[in-house]
A = this chain, B = another copy of it.
Amino acid sequence: MTPVPRFSASQLREPIVLAPMGGGPSTPELAVAVSEAGGLGFLAAGYRTPAQVRQEIREVRRRTERPFGVSVFATPAAIADPAAVDRYAASLQADAARLGVEPGEPRHDDDALDEKLAVAAEEGVAVLSFTFGSPGKDVVERLQRAGTAVWVTATTVEEAVAAAAGGADALVVQGVEAGGHRGSFQDERPGDIGLLALLQLVGAAADLPLVATGGIMTGRGVAAVLAAGAVAAQLGSAFMRTPEAGTTPAHRTALAGDRPTALTRAFTGRSARGIANRFMAEHEAEAPRGYPDVHHVTAPLRAAARERGEAEAVNLWAGQAYPLAAELPAGELVRRLGEEARAALRAAAARLNSG
């Protein structure tokens, strides 16, 4: 049997990958728009049931013949100190009461990883992207036999080397600029390296196609990571204000401002970057490492605050350059980024050859 040729980001007409954005912003509409424009759309399987994931995959497939990807969370590590999670839940009582809810029960689950992997393989998605760790070689090979390319997120050279040894088809190189969760294998030591430094380091250490992510918002940014050796740029925040994204109104309002971002464990027990707000300021100090347990603890508070449009009490994931996000249809944004990237490379070449 001839092996099924797997998708490579170097085939994309535009070197633009939509970052998976769990918890709302990722929608089938957004994935379709990006893939149809020549980029690679993505669905975020995280926090969805396997049935929902299957339904979303089928919806995208109905609306585009072009490839797209699905992202999952690798199995979370055990919680070092469950009592700390309980203490944290107790410390949120006042906030919860004000919002008319109770903190959620801490729960250590794997977000139905195996079922989601089975769905992805059965549905034959082009790319399955892992974050929070590298899957076992058996998992990688099973997906690859089903024709699915396996991408693994790396925030350090060590993670990149481990992912390459594990058989990944490509690496998603995530700089510290990135919004949302750090993709680090171990949250005790979340990678803190800037994207450009990391691309150079990983490029020297691992011989795999690199998809660059973290703080890329413009065609110049796309051109820069290609020049640094990436085959494509993965953008999240840049798409959060598009009409196709499921971004909440409170989040959209925050994205239209320019408050600084910060890393926080206060919402989920795992390092993630968001626009700094009251919840982060008040709870960061006592927030323990403990993913996804803390995620389940804060979920009712965040849902209630979201409902009320209270931006100060919800996670406003965003990368460091989010103020450059435009309100623009996603397909138009993909085309604009491609055009700007071409112009940026021409200008850089003119600069280099004029000396």
Contacts and interface: CB of A to CB of B under 8 A. Distances in A.
For the complex formed by this chain, how many copies does it contain in all?
Answer: 2
A231 interface: yes
Interface SS of chain A: helix
A196 B193 contact: no
Contacts of A80: none
A177 B201 contact: no
Contacts of A112: none
Contacts of A342: 349, 352-353
Nearest to A201: B321
A242 to B, nearest CB: 18
B201 A175 contact: no
A168 interface: no
A13 interface: yes
B351 A231 contact: yes
Contact of A193 (B177, B201, B221, B354): B177
A228 interface: yes
Contacts of A341: 352
A344 B348 CA distance: 11
A204 interface: yes
A224 interface: yes
B355 A345 contact: no
Contacts of A35: none
Interface string A325-355: 0000000000000100110111111011111
Nearest to A212: B196
Contact of A349 (B217, B320, B321, B345): B345
A225 interface: yes
A220 interface: yes
A331 B14 CA distance: 38
Contact of A197 (B319, B352, B355): B319
B220 A194 contact: no
A345 to B, nearest CB: 5
A116 to B, nearest CB: 30
Contacts of A201: 320-321, 323-324
A200 B324 contact: yes
